[in-house]
Structure 1
Amino acid sequence: MSTSQPGLGFRMHAERTPNPQSVKWVLGQELAPPGITANFRETVGVGVSPLAAALFEVAGVVGVFVGGSFVTVTKEEDLEWTDLAQLVVDAIKAFAGSGASALGPDFEAEARAGGGDEVVARIRGIIDNEIRPAVAMDGGDVVFVGFDGGVVEVMLQGSCVGCPSATATLRFGIEGRLREAIPEVESVVSV
């Protein structure tokens, strides 16, 4: 689905994700600064995120993930996208037409966790440069939380939350890649 707002030069399209409860809406404009993502699992004020606040006003929306030039919206399991899609599109269009930033002045990016040692730097490098871009293509994100005793802790966000493919992605994708490149990594867990 592709739609445009006359006079605003605004275009967006929807992309399916591996999670049937989530749809990734790709916009023709940046929503967040490079490398910054925001995951909202409950209603937030407009000072934190005007876009998320507007989307949570749509009955049935239970998650909003903002990253780069896309927003992933997650719905309640018992609802159909055919009932929600137009309401979500309308909320996104209204936001895009406002000229506001998706992340408001009260938004605070989470501090990057973990130490500054060489192993952590290598883990972060692979996650940030290889894994996050791949996962973002499906409307999600993987955030490094920590590394201790051979175990890498990550937080899954966006369409990854509740996705039937998340366990396979974690085990065979993320853990496999990190173990291949960094012998100190024994396993990866989602927190």
Structure 2
Amino acid sequence: MNTSEKTPVSFEPTPNPATMKFLLHKKVTDQGFDCPTVQEAERSPLAAKIFGFPWTSSVYVGPDFITVTKQDWVDWELLAHPLSGLIQEHLDRDEPVVVTFVEAEEDNENDSPMVRNIKSVLNREIRPVVALDGGDIVFHKYENNVLYIHMKGACSGCPSSTVTLKEGIEVRMKELFPEIVEVVSV
């Protein structure tokens, strides 16, 4: 493909001021994953490369985007354009974004009908909306009528994540499943 035919990497702010979402304009993985440390970035050569900068706090690799969370001592005004260029260069060289993606899938055969229904709603309704802001919501467990989830990417540490959790996710899950008494982030 000619470089002029490729859509350049773009970026946009997220509700978390420390996190920027970089749009890759191509699918790189089926399911996103968190890289909160450089050690956990081994599945993504691009995330590992981004961790080479001392201001990187965490990286989240989404299906067609990457969110990068920076440390407080540096501003996005200085970082966003050069980082976008670095990501674009990585893609232009056809270097892999994800080398392997092996995350243990929970055994659905052992899930109760309630857990299967909760996972289905999370995957169909909640996760796509949260991904628009560069984050992800992943099922952890359902126990004693409490749904436990992981908030990843831009959602992790975001000032508005509590509002998203309580006024968005919890309200919707309680509408669909009245037996749920609370949704908690772990």
Do they superpose with TM above 0.5? yes
1:94 deviates by 2.4
Alignment of 1:58-69 (within 5 A): 58-69=53-64
1:136 corresponds to: 131
2:82 corresponds to: 87
Distance 1:166 1:113 in 2: 29
Return the match for 2:182 from 166, 182, 187: 187
Matched, 1:42 2:37: yes
Distance 1:116 1:171 in 2: 25
Are the counterparts in 2 of residues 153 and 188 from structure 1 also a CA contact under 8 Å?
A: yes
1:154 deviates by 0.3
Distance 2:111 2:40 in 1: 34
1:78 deviates by 2.3
1:32 corresponds to: 29
Distance 1:18 1:27 in 2: 19
TM-score, length-scaled by structure 2: 0.90
Which blocks of at least 5 consecutive residues in structure 1 are unaligned?
A: none
Q: What is the CA deviation profile of residues 41-67 of structure 1, one whole-angstrom value per residue up to 9, with x for unaligned ones?
A: 111487521110111112201111111
Letter of the aligned partner of 1:20 in structure 2? P
Distance 1:45 1:117 in 2: 31
Are the counterparts in 1 of residues 139 and 149 from structure 2 also a CA contact under 8 Å?
A: yes
TM-score, length-scaled by structure 1: 0.88
Matched, 1:112 2:109: no
1:91 deviates by 2.3
* Shift in alpha-carbon separation, 1:113–1:43, aligned structure 2, 3 A: farther
Q: 4+ runs of 1 displaced by more than 2 Å?
A: 5-8, 44-47, 110-115
1:175 deviates by 0.6
* Shift in alpha-carbon separation, 1:102–1:124, aligned structure 2, 3 A: same
Distance 2:146 2:41 in 1: 37
Are the counterparts in 2 of residues 145 and 153 from structure 1 also a CA contact under 8 Å?
A: yes
1:73 corresponds to: 68
Are the counterparts in 2 of residues 21 and 76 from structure 1 also a CA contact under 8 Å?
A: yes
Distance 2:42 2:144 in 1: 39
Q: Among the aligned pairs, what percent are the same residue?
A: 33
Are the counterparts in 2 of residues 46 and 104 from structure 1 also a CA contact under 8 Å?
A: no
1:18 corresponds to: 15
Distance 1:53 1:178 in 2: 35
Which blocks of at least 5 consecutive residues in structure 2 are unaligned?
A: none
Q: Which has the higher helix share?
A: 2
- The number of residues matched between the two structures is 184
Secondary structure of the 2:54 match is: coil
* Shift in alpha-carbon separation, 1:57–1:135, aligned structure 2, 3 A: same
* Shift in alpha-carbon separation, 1:189–1:80, aligned structure 2, 3 A: same
RMSD of Structure 2 on Structure 1 (CA): 2.0
